[in-house]
Amino acid sequence: MTTVDEKPKRLISGPGMLLVWFYGVMVVGAVSRSAFQIATEFDRAPLAYTLSAVAGVVYGFITYSLVRGGETARRAAQVCCAAELAGVLIVGTWTVLEPSAFPDATVWSKYGMGYVFIPVLLPLSALYWLRRNRADGTGNGGEGDGDEVTP
Amino acid sequence: MLDALTLVTGVAALLLAAWCGWAAYRDQPTKDWHFIGMAVVSLLAVVQLVIGIVQLARGEKPEQGTTIFVAYLLGAFACVPAAGFMSLAERTRWGSVTVAAGGVVLAVLEVRLYDIWGG
């Protein structure tokens, strides 16, 4: 990680704020759920609970990146969103094909059906949002040199 | 738990969501009146939290476990205020959308609370 002098570009203006809200909700949901389940009944479905915990960590990192802002954080968030999307699709397909591997549901089971499909919709909208905010893109920011004053 | 209160809180949360959704549709940020609405919904959540704890203290047990019940009570309590603060930081229609989403999330939490208590 290089030290960056530029003022971080805001990633949470406009629709970004809504993304942070949903990611925050998912962090609380996934982390508290997996913490409770791992603490009390880990042996019942180790794979499912571990996956929920991983999902929670990924959500946490994305939330932090969005709030932090800046190009490095934007790239990191983009990578994580892609990983998240891959996770949802893989785990979703896995739970559909072989339900026996998961005695209990994860956040990502059946593409996040238990969470109104937010887990699969969230990375898609986040990736779209992050792409629009590329430093060299046509998004509403400027160049990566931080020409805006963050309040 | 007090089913009526759960129902009222859930409905109030949905009303708040609709109201803020309307503000977002008209391209407006959240205004004082919205914050009063958020305060009312938050107050309901606080009352729910207190009643829930009192009922636990009296020795009643939620069907799906005390820890989960308390976690959801706390989540329901924090939900709308958190969205409200975020809408303070985002003075555009997107702040209103965030509060609307907060209302919907709270309504979902109320349904879960009802289940967890074993309604």
Number of domains in chain A: 1
Q: Please give the DSSP secondary-structure letter assigned to residue A47.
A: H
Q: Residue B105: which of A13, A15, A25 has the nearest Cβ?
A: A25
Q: Is A71 helix (H, G, I), strand (E, B) or coil?
A: helix
Distance from CA of B92 to the nearest CA of A (A): 7
Binary contact (A20, B97; C-beta < 8 A): no
- Say if the Cβ atoms of A18 and B94 lie within 8 Å: yes
Query: Is A29's pLDDT higher than 80?
Result: yes
**Domain around B83:** 3-117
pLDDT in tens, B97-110: 999 999 999 999 99
pLDDT at A150: 44
- Which pLDDT value is given to residue A3? 52
Position A114 confidence tier, pLDDT thresholds 50, 70, 90:
confident
For chain B, the domain total comes to 1
| DSSP letter, residue B30 | -
Question: CB-based burial of residue A103 (10 Å sphere; 0-12 exposed, 13-18 middle, 19+ buried)?
Answer: exposed
Q: What is the pLDDT of residue A10?
A: 85
In terms of residue numbers, what domain contains A87? 15-132
